[in-house]
């Protein structure tokens, strides 16, 4: 049962995620969303340091997410030389869908 739920979640992620760079995209989406909600925007440089992926791959994924309208790269309010990542409405809609799916799985696990 649990294994089936995990497979369902992974299938849902693949169907709903930005197709290119899917796994890394979800990492970036959730890091940006959580940092934005906490009022501490995440800089591009910090994100590259936090993720264990190749810096070029992170940069390519950020570029892709910007092109797909999940992210904006804007100057920091404190220091305009620093670029920070800002989630768009499309990003937060995806986070909400993920949260809903995770809740369904959590409820299903309680029944096991």
Residue 72: phi and psi, rounded to 5, are -125, 145
b/e burial code for range 48-75 (CB count within 10 A of at least 16 → b): beebebeeeebeebbebbeeeebbeeee
User: Rounded to two decimals, what is the model's pTM?
Assistant: 0.78
Q: Is pLDDT of 106 > 70?
A: yes
Structure letter (DSSP) for residue 41: P
pLDDT score at 2: 60
Question: How is domain 2-110 classified at the CATH fold level?
Answer: Arc Repressor Mutant, subunit A (1.10.10)
pLDDT score at 47: 92
Render pLDDT for 30-89 as a digit per residue (tens, 0 to 9).
899 999 999 999 999 999 888 888 888 889 999 999 999 999 999 988 888 999 999 999
pLDDT score at 105: 78
48 φψ region: left (φ > 0), alpha (ψ -120 to 50), beta (else): alpha
Q: Is pLDDT of 7 > 80?
A: no
How is the chain split into domains, by residue range?
2-110
Sheet of 71-75: strand order equals 42-43, 83-87, 71-75
């Amino acid at each position: 049962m649990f294994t089936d739920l995990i497979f369902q979640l992974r299938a849902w992620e693949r169907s709903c995620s930005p197709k290119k760079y899917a796994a890394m995209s979800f990492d970036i989406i959730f890091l940006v969303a959580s940092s934005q909600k906490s009022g501490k925007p995440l800089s591009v440089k910090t994100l590259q340091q936090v993720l264990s992926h190749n810096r070029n791959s992170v940069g390519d994924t950020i570029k892709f997410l910007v092109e797909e309208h999940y992210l904006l790269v804007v100057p920091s309010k404190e220091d305009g030389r620093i670029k920070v990542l800002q989630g768009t409405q499309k990003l937060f809609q995806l986070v909400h869908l993920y949260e809903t799916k995770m809740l369904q799985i959590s409820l299903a696990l309680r029944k096991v």
